[in-house]
Amino acid sequence: MPASQATLLIKKLVKTFPAGNQRIQALRGLSMQAHDSDFIAIMGPSGSGKSTLLHCIAGLCQADTGEIYLDGKLLANNNDRQMTALRRQKIGVIFQSFNLLPNLSVGDNICLPIYADGKKVDKDKLYSLAKRLGIVDKLKRRPASLSGGEQQRAAIARTLLCEPSLILADEPTGSLDSIAGNQFCELLRSLCEEEKRSILLVTHEPSVAVWAKKVIVLHDGQKIGQLELPEQMPATELAHIYREIIADAPRFSATATMPTK
């Protein structure tokens, strides 16, 4: 597929944050792309720009320079209202914070983005998804009565019920036990293969990253490695390769030289 037809295309993305009289460089001219059915794990040390990258793609923060295209359309052309609608309809975001409303049932929390669009909820799809995530018996309860892992699964269901074409997941298994984490990764893999979704998953865990088809390694805001994963690669092997890539990475100053205005 030509680059111009990539589901997601990122060109020379730069993002800095103020830090006193200087600016922290989170992304340094990062470029990458993802096509339909791509399942990409993004790995890197803390501070390498992984979460910042997802926030820029989701429109939750704006890059200093660079371009992000989704299905050939420049995201910077959207206003805040359009980006909010895009996150409900096309870009599914699964972040570490659950953001469940305490006064609504778990089921209503899951359905909230569909209600916001004025659409009718497919109850069969809701129950099927909740069953796959192990929370079908929690749909009528309030979030406060659920464990952290169960709340994370409810947040995951809320994103997946909208059937987004692009799924962004930031450490989504952090609150899940190993069994639930594997079930979630298996679900993502099936969405990628059977329903042609594109998935970008940020993780520190090789045992999570091995479910992906490709791994991109970030360091100091730059892409320093990319791996095409064979079927059933052992997590220990991926961990070894990842450590070697990080050990060979160039080192940059964490701060930019230009002062804040």
Residue 48: predicted pLDDT: 93
Q: What is the reported pTM?
A: 0.86
Q: What does the pLDDT look like over 94-109, one tens digit per residue?
A: 877 788 999 999 999 9
Residue 1: predicted pLDDT: 39
Residue 259: predicted pLDDT: 38
Helix 148-161 with 123-132: angle, nearest 10 deg: 140
Q: What does the pLDDT look like over 49-73, one tens digit per residue?
A: 999 999 999 999 999 999 999 988 9
Torsion sign, CA atoms 87, 181, 38, 251:
positive
